[in-house]
Amino acid sequence: MTDDVRTLDYGDRGRVVVVADADALANMAANLLLTSAEEATAAGHRALIALSGGSTPKKMGELLAVAPLIERIPWGNLDIFWGDERWVPLADPESNAGEAMRGYLEQAPILPDHIHPFATEGIAAEDSATAMERTLRGLQPDASVPQFDLVLLGMGDDGHTASLFPGTAAVHETDRLVVSHHVEKLDATRLTFTPPLINAALKVAFLVGGAGKAEMLARVLEGPVDIDAMPSQAIRPDNGHLTWIVDEAAASRLTGTPTNG
Ligand code: 6PG
């Protein structure tokens, strides 16, 4: 499978690793999570991992909960968060955290204390965002912005990432690390990590699969910068470590001509 991998360098916009298909994409993402967890453990600290919602990470998750990865992942050293959440109860099939817990985390040897879904019941959305920010800051009280070891993201065909949607103020947030907002195009409330939190991470990786994403992926990587139209472009990790793991179908419109700026 690895023979089929090619890499495109988009400078500040990231390094693109093109794999054959959805299975290869899930496999590479799962191994990236393993590496991040191992590196954090070797460095003597807990691994802070942010998962994304959407369909792409589901396949990845299923690989984590079976051999060989289930035996290799240092589960006791992980703290799992989600980069965004829908305003529904954990039991709802729309819940990013709920789906991951039912889909694979419940099969993994991780203590419930180390799984940190957003609170979405018995609390106002605004307060849930504040509580999450407080939890995160509490994990690394000396850091101006807590540093995730790995943030996994998806990208919508409209250019959104996490729950940073086109035209929303959250894309320009510079102070708060987590916000709740009403997303007009969905007529729904979403909770989301903001660019300052995501960009402080040690590693950030987008997982993008399928032909439906091809046109937007090419615009995000090769077109003019317009973060209001394409919030995915607001993700520029401070340390420059941005990886896009994409399948051939999603990469089909890339010309391979890196554009910086
Ligand atoms: C969500 C997401 C969202 C998602 C993208 C891509 O909760 O909806 O976190 O940002 O990652 O929409 O989703 P797919 O991988 O399903 O295309």
Measured distance CA(60)–CA(28) in Å, rounded: 8
- Residue 81 pLDDT > 70: yes
* Distance from Cα 43 to the centre of ligand 1, integer Å: 31
* Distance from Cα 42 to the centre of ligand 1, integer Å: 31
- Residue 39 pLDDT > 90: yes
Measured distance CA(113)–CA(162) in Å, rounded: 23
Q: What is the pLDDT of residue 5?
A: 86
Report the residue among 151, 160, 213 best suited for mutation to probe ligand 1: largest number of ligand atoms under 8 A from its CB. 160
CA angle 236, 148, 76 (to 5 degrees): 155
pTM to 2 decimals? 0.96
Residues 82 and 118 sit within 8 Å (Cβ to Cβ): yes
Strand locations in 123-248, DSSP E? 150-154, 178-183, 188-193, 204-208, 242-247
Q: For 102-131, how does the pLDDT look when each residue is reduced to its tens digit (9 = 90+)? A: 999 999 999 999 999 999 999 999 999 999
pLDDT over 70 percentage in the chain: 97
Measured distance CA(41)–CA(109) in Å, rounded: 16
Residue that the structure tokens 């090619």 belong to? 6
* Distance from Cα 44 to the centre of ligand 1, integer Å: 32
Per the prediction, the chain carries an average pLDDT of 95
Q: What is the pLDDT of residue 261?
A: 47
Strands 15-19 and 178-183, bridge-based pairing: unpaired
- Residue 4 pLDDT > 80: no
